[in-house]
Structure 1
Amino acid sequence: MSGAFEMLRVANTSLGAHQVWLDALAGNIANANTYVSTDEDAFQATYVVFNPREDGGVDVAGFAEGDAEGRMISMPDHPLADENGYVRAPDLDMSAQISQLVMAQRGYQSSVSVTKTAQDTYNAALAIGQGR
């Protein structure tokens, strides 16, 4: 029975960590086209830092931020463009963000599957214990 509880505990830490990762990626992707004037800091992407636990689970250890410098883009018609026609944009690699989004989604789905298996195992053990 403790095996099912262990699976549930580990899967729960994974579910939480993957949810935080998904939330961070969603914010990054939503702000990929956020432009500011060149005298402002660019949107800084959020990167989740994970820490493995000795018991097999995972914790969110913290967050790292992207570069506030961002990148300069020529957009002379943009209302925030400077006298040279530039705006500041986030320094985000969208293909990397989408790839990470797929990995985070699959990790979350795997954790849900493990949780369901652990619950089924627990319920089967209860049924055996009740003589069904």
Structure 2
Amino acid sequence: MGAFDMLSIAGSSMGMHQTWLDSLANNIANVNTVVSTSQTAFQTQTPIVRALAGGGVEVAGLALSDPNGRLVSDPGNPMADADGYVRAPEDDLATQMTSLVMAQRGFQASVQVTKDAQDTYRSALEIGRR
């Protein structure tokens, strides 16, 4: 492992977690989006992550949830079908918020690794000056 590999690995982790946070923000903003049963439901996005050979990770793409979503009984909704149903996203707010906490903690851990690596490199430079 090279001298600056820790920074590179932590940086790739921060980038991945930022993508995850962005997709979660979009998912949360649309958690209550409903459409008529003849339309496609909002598809929540989840990053597909793969390990890099030299260390670190990258986002390989985004997985989308089932376009059929789930049927919700809401007879008062103007978009409801004749049976009173609308189509809603597959995931709920609790699931998205749980993922949000995990993504935030992962991002924070990556930031801490970056800070620790910088402190280590700084200390090594100080030793070299003496």
Length-normalised TM-score, structure 2: 0.91
2:88 corresponds to: 89
Q: Secondary structure at the match of 2:59?
A: strand
Counterpart-to-counterpart distance in 2, 1:78 and 1:10: 49
2:20 corresponds to: 21
> Residue 77 of structure 1: CA displacement?
1.2
Match status 1:80 vs 2:79 = yes
2:50 corresponds to: 51
Q: Which amino acid aligns with 2:114?
A: T
Match status 1:105 vs 2:104 = yes
Counterpart-to-counterpart distance in 1, 2:103 and 2:54: 21
- The aligned runs of 1:2-17 (5 Å cut-off) are 2-3=2-3, 5-17=4-16
- Report percent identity of matched pairs: 54
Q: Which amino acid aligns with 1:86?
A: Y
> Residue 128 of structure 1: CA displacement?
3.1
Counterpart-to-counterpart distance in 1, 2:86 and 2:98: 27
Q: Secondary structure at the match of 2:49?
A: strand
2:60 corresponds to: 61
Q: Which amino acid aligns with 2:84?
A: G
Q: Secondary structure at the match of 1:59?
A: strand
Q: How much is the aligned-residue C-alpha RMSD, in angstroms?
A: 1.7
- Structure 1 runs of 4+ with >6 Å offset: none
5+ long unaligned stretches in structure 1: none
Shifted more, 68-77 versus 12-21: the winner is 68-77
> Residue 79 of structure 1: CA displacement?
1.9
> Residue 124 of structure 1: CA displacement?
2.1
> Residue 83 of structure 1: CA displacement?
2.2
Length-normalised TM-score, structure 1: 0.89
> Residue 55 of structure 1: CA displacement?
2.0
Counterpart-to-counterpart distance in 2, 1:46 and 1:37: 21
> Residue 35 of structure 1: CA displacement?
0.7
